[in-house]
């Protein structure tokens, strides 16, 4: 039995579909169980990664886990998983743990990297064989621009020239499927990127081409951007994002071919992602 945590997420739902199509026994968990709509025959359970009382039932009979990196009660989760007989955990971590954060920073000083690092360390210190998936930037981060694009407003960017490596969530799900089902990948550490290093301005241009709509960019200061996102992004995470973008402003990020090595096909481009999500940017 494979347990998928964070069952409402884009990666989890795509991974579930792949494993279910294989005919493998799968269970999907979420803190909001009522919001899950798994395929017929797939068990949905309440699994709150901050509440250890939900761990035993979710882990009963499970041998493999796809784990979202939530550090809140990770030691408890690892203990319950080991006692339940789990023999493999695949962690959805982040490439930020490799020290690729802002210049002069360490992962432990970065709240975005630190939370993933805590989960990695807890699993690697346990007896459970662990595979680490370390994606860079998600293409879906561009979804934060959907509302201004739909309404014809400019997109506020503090660093239009900052580079990211947008990774399609389907590629990440297919990579997770590969490491869960192919024993050759067990215990690996995989850094995944999209196929291109693109600036935010270039991503906006791609979106404009796909949607057929002009999209204006408003170059704002870091403080103006923090004020605009206040209430949506906690200040400590906003500062970490700004530091990362500052470090890649005008500097292409390193790319890998890990998606192709795991899945057998090149990583999908940002243009493909924008096409797949065009309704988010054009619907009334």
284 CB burial (10 A radius; 0-12, 13-18, 19+): exposed
Among the listed residues 174, 167, 172, the one whose alpha carbon sits nearest the alpha carbon of residue 197: 167
Question: 39-90, pLDDT tens digit by residue?
Answer: 988 999 999 999 999 999 999 999 999 999 899 999 999 999 999 999 999 9
Q: What is the pLDDT of residues 87-105, one digit of tens each?
A: 999 999 999 888 744 334 4
Cβ–Cβ contacts within 10 Å for residue 239, how many? 16
Is residue 183 within 8 Å of 87, Cβ to Cβ? no
Residues 136, 164: contact at Cβ < 8 Å?
A: yes
The rounded distance, in Å, linking the Cα atoms of 3 and 59 is 7
Neighbours of 66 (CB within 10 A): 30
- 198-236 pLDDT, tens per residue? 999 999 999 999 999 999 999 999 999 999 888 888 888
Q: How far apart are the first and last CA of the chain?
A: 42
Residue 2 backbone phi and psi in degrees, to 5: -105, 130
**pLDDT, tens digit (0-9, with 9 covering 90-100), for 171-188:** 999 999 999 999 999 999
Give strand ranges (E) for 93-150.
Answer: 130-135
Average pLDDT for 112-124:
89
Q: What is the pTM of this model?
A: 0.91
Helix (H) or strand (E) holding 93: none
Give domain limits for the chain: 2-139+168-194+254-268
Q: Are 135 and 192 in contact (CB under 8 A)?
A: yes
CATH of domain 2-139+168-194+254-268: 3.40.50.720
pLDDT classification of 108: cutoffs 50, 70, 90: low
259-265: long-range contacts at Cβ-Cβ below 8 A with a sequence spacing of 24 or more? Answer: 259/167, 259/171, 259/174, 259/175, 259/192, 259/193, 259/195, 262/174, 262/175, 262/178, 262/179, 262/185, 262/190, 263/171, 263/174, 263/175, 263/178
């Amino acid at each position: 039995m494979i347990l998928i945590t964070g069952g409402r997420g884009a990666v989890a739902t795509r991974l579930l579909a792949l494993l279910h199509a294989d005919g493998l026994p799968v269970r999907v968990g979420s803190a909001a169980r009522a919001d899950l709509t798994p395929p017929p025959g797939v068990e949905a359970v309440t699994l709150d990664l901050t509440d250890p009382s939900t761990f035993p039932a979710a882990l009963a009979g499970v041998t493999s886990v796809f784990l979202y990196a939530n550090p809140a009660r990770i030691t408890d989760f690892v203990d319950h998983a080991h006692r339940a007989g789990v023999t493999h955990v695949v962690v959805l971590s982040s490439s930020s743990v490799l020290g690729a954060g802002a210049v002069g920073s360490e992962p432990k000083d970065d709240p975005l990297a630190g939370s993933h690092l805590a989960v990695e360390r807890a699993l690697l210190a346990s007896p459970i064989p662990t595979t680490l998936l370390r994606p860079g930037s998600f293409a879906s981060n561009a979804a934060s621009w959907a509302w201004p694009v739909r309404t014809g407003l400019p997109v506020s960017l503090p660093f239009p020239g900052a580079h990211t490596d947008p990774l399609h969530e389907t590629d990440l799900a297919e990579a997770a499927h590969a490491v869960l089902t192919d024993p050759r990948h067990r215990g690996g550490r995989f850094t995944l990127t999209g196929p291109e290093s693109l600036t935010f301005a270039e991503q906006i241009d791609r979106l404009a081409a796909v949607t057929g709509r002009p999209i204006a960019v408003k170059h704002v200061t870091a403080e103006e951007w923090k004020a605009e996102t206040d209430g949506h992004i906690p200040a400590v995470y906003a500062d970490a994002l700004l530091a990362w973008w500052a470090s890649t402003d005008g500097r292409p990020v390193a790319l890998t071919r890990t998606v192709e090595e795991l899945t057998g096909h090149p990583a999908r481009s940002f243009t493909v992602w924008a096409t797949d999500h065009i309704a988010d940017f054009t619907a009334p």
